[in-house]
Amino acid sequence: MKKILGIAFAVVVFSCLLFAQEMKPARTKSGKMSWSEAKSHVGNWGEMRTYFLGNTYGTTNMFTAMAVVKPGESVHPAHRHAEEEFLVLTKGSGTWHLDGKEFPAKEGDVLYVEPWKFHGLVNTSKEPLTFFVVRWNNQGVPAPVAPAGDHGK
């Protein structure tokens, strides 16, 4: 009887491990994605193409995208979130917003944003502005808690 219970226990543990493995989100694989393959989201402000999403070897909630913003527009108002983020201005010019301050934004600029810092980018020129964004949390490192009184993004 002990042997049967031991085998039954081993089967249950093994099944739980398999189930837990299946429940883990798939890891993003190495690859290349073109503009035409990326998922498009169009708004009054312009267009954003989403490339790779999800988990990688060292990140969770990873988001990569390219946006083309119309003159005088922004994707959204300055906001904040728990993820770290890099924004690379690849074409055009505008204004960066970072933690209550504003700076000129020009082609080649890179903005790094710590968790929960207000940030944004506005196209203040007469030409389209293009930027690339990468946002993520680190695996094994809990996301920072929102500052007191914060109700999200």
Domains and CATH numbers, the chain: 39-138 (2.60.120.10)
Q: What is the pLDDT of residues 43-71, one digit of tens each?
A: 999 999 999 998 888 888 899 999 999 99
Q: Nearest 5 degrees, angle CA 86-CA 87-CA 93? A: 155
Distances (CA, A) of 49 to 34, 53, 120, 142: 10, 12, 18, 28
How far is 41 from 51, CA to CA, in rounded Å? 12
Q: What is the pLDDT of residues 86-95, one digit of tens each?
A: 999 999 999 9
pLDDT at 12: 47
How far is 67 from 44, CA to CA, in rounded Å? 13
Mapped to the 3 state alphabet, what secondary structure does 106-119 carry? Answer: ECCCEEEECCCCCE
The answer to whether 28 and 54 are in contact (CB under 8 A) is yes
- pTM for the model stands at 0.78
Mode of pairing for the β-strands spanning 59-69 and 46-54: antiparallel
